Amino acid sequence: MERNFPEALKEHILRFLQFNRITRLDQLVDKVYLVFKNDYFPGETIILKGSILNGQTESGTRQRGTIKEKIQYSNPSDGLLTKYLVVRANDQKQAIVINEKISRDRNHFTKWLIKAFIK
């Protein structure tokens, strides 16, 4: 569990849990998963959906990267998406990516891992 769970997420999840009043573990795991599944934090390793070359996106490719920082926070009422500054692992170039174009590795953020981390 220690090896697979994202280190950058631990502090944020613990802060969320500190003031949460949900008593059932399964409900708490579901809530944590929903809150954090589309939110990424600096230092977190992610997967880019599609590569970005010269400002154009090529679909069908996947590459690893690391979140450097959040540039713009989402605001659903204005239709704004969260934007992140990402460093690509293969060439160390930086790109600004919206949250819909990135994801976590499926083996590193699951409800089972969240439950084990909370316990």
pLDDT in tens, the chain (119 residues): 667 787 888 899 999 999 889 989 999 999 999 988 888 999 999 999 875 544 455 556 788 999 999 887 777 666 678 899 999 988 889 989 888 889 888 888 889 999 999 98
Hey, is 32 helix, strand or coil? helix
Do 34 and 73 contact (CB within 8 A), yes or no? no
- Whole-number pLDDT of residue 32: 94
- Whole-number pLDDT of residue 16: 92
Do 109 and 9 contact (CB within 8 A), yes or no? yes
Contacts (Cβ under 8 Å, ≥6 apart) of 13:
32, 36, 114, 117, 118
- Whole-number pLDDT of residue 31: 95
Do 47 and 105 contact (CB within 8 A), yes or no? yes
User: Among 116, 117, 108, which Cα is nearest to 47's?
Assistant: 108
State the pTM of this model: 0.77
Question: How far apart, in whole angstroms, are the C-alpha atoms of residue 74 and residue 19?
Answer: 23
- Whole-number pLDDT of residue 54: 44
At 91, phi and psi to the nearest 5? -130, 5
Contacts (Cβ under 8 Å, ≥6 apart) of 92:
none
Q: In the numeric block, which tokens belong to residue 110?
A: 């699951």
